[in-house]
A and B are shown apart, each in its own frame.
Chain A
Amino acid sequence: MEAATQLAAPPLEGRGVEVEIGGVPILRGADLRLDHGRLVAIVGPNGAGKSTLVRAVSGLQGTCGGAVHWSGREIGEMRGRDLARVRAFVPQRMSVPAGVSVREAVTIGRSSHLRPLRRLTGTDRDAIGGAMERAGVTRFAERALTTLSGGELQRVQIAIGLAQEAPVLIADEPTSQLDLGATVGVATLLRQLVDDGLTVLLVVHDLALAAAVADTAVVVSAGRTVATGRPAEVLDPARLAEVWGADARLTEHDGRTALHVAWLEQPKKH
């Protein structure tokens, strides 16, 4: 019975998640559900609590209310090593130490599978090679991290996450510092990974991008999740005005998405 409920449970489910940082409430009740093989985008204005939400469900940030379950397991009962096996967290920007090559960095991403003082096995090497191949970083595997462009570095971060071989990849604004071409590259990569069976949770600012890649959009506003659903339905003009305070409209045509914004007008209240 226990096993059956765990099988039926989604990879990740958070209910009423609350977080306080330094006595200030950041999340006041956020709900989030992740299903297998889906890409969920968390969107919302600056300071709404998007990053805090993904950090809380990832176990990087303590919560003060609500519940987070990974495949039915309460997050508080999971050790770091258990969490490393169910999800990989890709930060907005990792530290870039001098004198570390791409291959070494991706190898570090594998380290949650290694016992202390044990060497890499053939399986580990295959996982590292596979992660670099999927993320498209094999071409510059021997280069130092310090020599990479922003787009290349973001791919390396994703490769580090993939080397962890967790079924869920969580990425906090992976495209926020990238140019258009690099953003398209990372978006295509993430969508490809989902189509290959990975489950991805993404924090993203660009609503047109969210609409293009995500199966589900979760709107966070003032510490609460206020809407969840298909991006095109959830991000209607009324919500854009209410949550972002902007007069804007999302359009979708032939797989191309665009956000039409009245840049210089005050939003009309719907």
Chain B
Amino acid sequence: MARRTLVFAALLAALAAAVVASLALGAVKVPFSEVIDVLLGNGSGGPEQQIVETLRLPRTVEALVVGAALGIAGAILQGALANPLASPDVIGVTGGAGFGAILIIIAFPGSIALLPVGALFFGLLAAALVFAFAWSGANRGSVGKVILAGIAVLSLFTAATTGLLAAYPERAPSAIFFIAGGLTSSGWDEMQTIWPYFAAGFACALLLIRPLDRLALGDDVAASLGSRPHLIRLGAAVSAALLAAASAAIAGLLGFLGLVVPHVVRMAGGTSSHTFVVPASAIGGAALLAAGDTLARTLRAPIEMPVGPFMVVLGVPLFLWLLRKAV
């Protein structure tokens, strides 16, 4: 028990540090005291307050929400499918969202504001296709069926995306930032459109924590306790699809985060109980994305690099180190 408390404390400390760094650092360095003053509403009213309030605060909030969403999406999918390789990729969301975004970038470059909506729509459409095939017929909702349907739909959308990029190679460069995954300083606009999907996904995930613990002991134990295993898996997949599609709409394709963060917190906490793994993955994902995004825009400021590759650089060594120690 003490070990979990320790992990939570460490994660919260990392989160706090990442938030402060994200607000203070960038092309313009804002003093720590000024950041605190702005947050408390006593800003000096100068350009630094402007930068923090209109650029960095929305961006930091986006990093926290998207990081938490992807961490949770990975945690509940890995739990629901009892498969360590599960991530939003597996239920087709990433492939669909990528296609939706690239379609807007390439076919409707004049309506780039529609990109989040396109990513969200096709992300959810891909997940809906997976659900339609995996939750029908004999053995509906079985782990194998979900994963196979997911991989098939993912391949379909990946092929469509590649086809689009090959057909319009001159527009491909603008798609790279989305595919790599990264946040932008575009204020609150995107969040204002997308937040209900995050809210629904988070609420659904919260209700799934206990059913997922039952499912961890097997379908029969879950059924003995009055749950319907295939409905738990469906709920988890819907929740993960909402969170991952909304995340892709804001920050592009950051699939790595959803795969790795839950494993890291499981290994660090020494338990796979969802009452621990789900909240810890949320905090860990938020901290990792906020830290990665800060690095991505400070290392070669004022040039911003996509956060996706940076998170991989930050996360993989930690992951491999933990993996080596794990039994």
Q: Across the interface, do A97 and B224 meet the contact criterion of CB distance under 8 Å?
A: no
B residues whose Cβ falls under 8 Å from a Cβ of A: 82, 138, 206-207, 210, 213-214, 216-218, 220-221, 223-228, 266, 269-273, 327
* Given contact pairs A100-B216, A100-B273, A104-B273, A111 touches B210 in the complex (Cβ within 8 A): yes
Mask: chain A, 203-216; 1 = CB below 8 Å from B; 0 = not: 00000000000000
* Residue pair A97, B221 in contact (C-beta under 8 Å): no
Q: Is the CB of A117 within 8 A of B271?
A: no
**With A and B bound together, what is the CA distance between A68 and B315 in angstroms?**
54
List residues of chain A with CB under 8 Å of any chain B CB. 22, 58-60, 79-84, 87-91, 94-95, 97-101, 104-105, 108-109, 111-112, 114, 116-117, 157, 160-161, 164
Interface pair B225/A94, CB less than 8 Å apart: no
Q: Are A84 and B210 in contact (CB under 8 A)?
A: no
Contact of A164 among B207, B224, B266 (CB under 8 A): B224
In the complex, which residues of chain B have a beta carbon less than 8 angstroms from the beta carbon of A117? 206-207, 210
- In the complex, which residues of chain A have a beta carbon less than 8 angstroms from the beta carbon of B206? 117
Q: How far is the CA of A116 from the CA of B138 in the complex (A)?
A: 30
B269 contacts across to A, CB distance below 8 A: 99
| A interface secondary structure, majority | mixed
27 contacts between A and B (CB under 8 A): A22-B138, A58-B223, A58-B224, A59-B223, A60-B223, A79-B226, A80-B228, A81-B226, A83-B226, A87-B224, A89-B220, A89-B224, A90-B224, A91-B224, A95-B216, A97-B82, A99-B272, A100-B271, A104-B271, A109-B221, A111-B210, A111-B225, A112-B226, A116-B207, A116-B210, A157-B221, A161-B224
Cβ contacts under 8 Å, A98 to chain B: 272, 327
- With A80-B228, A99-B272, A100-B271: A94-B221 Cβ-Cβ less than 8 Å: yes
Cβ B273 vs Cβ A60 within 8 A:
no
A99 to B74 CA separation, bound complex (whole angstroms): 18
Contact between B272 and A100, CB atoms less than 8 A apart = yes
Q: A22-B138, A111-B213, A160-B217 are in contact. Are A99 and B223 (CB under 8 A)?
A: no
Q: B2: shortest Cβ distance to chain A, in Å?
A: 13
Closest chain-A Cβ to B191's Cβ sits at a distance in Å of 26
Q: Which residues of A contact B213 (CB under 8 A)?
A: 108, 111
Per the bound structure, the CA–CA distance linking A160 and B269 in Å amounts to 23
Q: Across the interface, name the chain B residue whose C-beta is closest to A21.
A: B138
How far is B218's CA from A97's CA once the two chains are assembled, in angstroms?
Answer: 9
Nearest CB on B from A249, distance (A):
35
- Bound CA–CA A59/B220 (angstroms): 10
> Beyond A60-B223, A80-B223, A81-B226: 17 further Cβ-contacts under 8 Å?
A58-B223, A80-B227, A89-B220, A91-B220, A94-B218, A94-B220, A95-B217, A95-B218, A95-B221, A97-B82, A99-B266, A99-B270, A100-B273, A105-B217, A117-B206, A157-B221, A164-B225
